[in-house]
Amino acid sequence: AQSVTQLGSHVSVSEGALVLLRCNYSSSVPPYLFWYVQYPNQGLQLLLKYTSAATLVKGINGFEAEFKKSETSFHLTKPSAHMSDAAEYFCAVSVSQGAQKLVFGQGTRLTINP
């Protein structure tokens, strides 16, 4: 079964520092991977997705993620954190059979310190 593990339920960084949110996946087939962001009291918004076209994926708001098959990872990074990046971030893998659902990680809450 496909699954996702996000390491760290809370991450805190200073404004201007590197943001690194970790995601590892488990999949017996080539995965489709997604990062979503949830701002307070809002729905989920797509940041970026990996669909096998390129291993380094650029998304919105300066975020990017690199697919590493050997490490089964899809970590999310941003070179310089901004106060507006404070939110909860979810990594998800898309199940390609049956329900064709998104299987989500537990989420990582990102806090930005001034």
Give the angle subtended at the CA of 93 by the CAs of 91 and 97, to the nearest 5°: 160
The region that residue 24 occupies, defined by phi over 0 for left and psi between -120 and 50 for alpha, beta otherwise, is beta
Q: Does 63 bind another protein (CB under 8 A)?
A: no
Q: Identify which of residues 17 and 64 has a Cβ nearer to another protein in the complex.
A: 64
Q: Does 22 bind another protein (CB under 8 A)?
A: no
Tell me which of 25, 34, 63, 67 binds another protein, using CB under 8 A: 34
The CA distance from 93 to 67, in Å, is 12
Q: In DSSP terms, which residues pair with 6 in a beta bridge?
A: 23
Tell me which of 81, 105, 110, 112 binds another protein, using CB under 8 A: 105
Tell me which of 14, 96, 111, 113 binds another protein, using CB under 8 A: 96
Q: Does 74 bind another protein (CB under 8 A)?
A: no
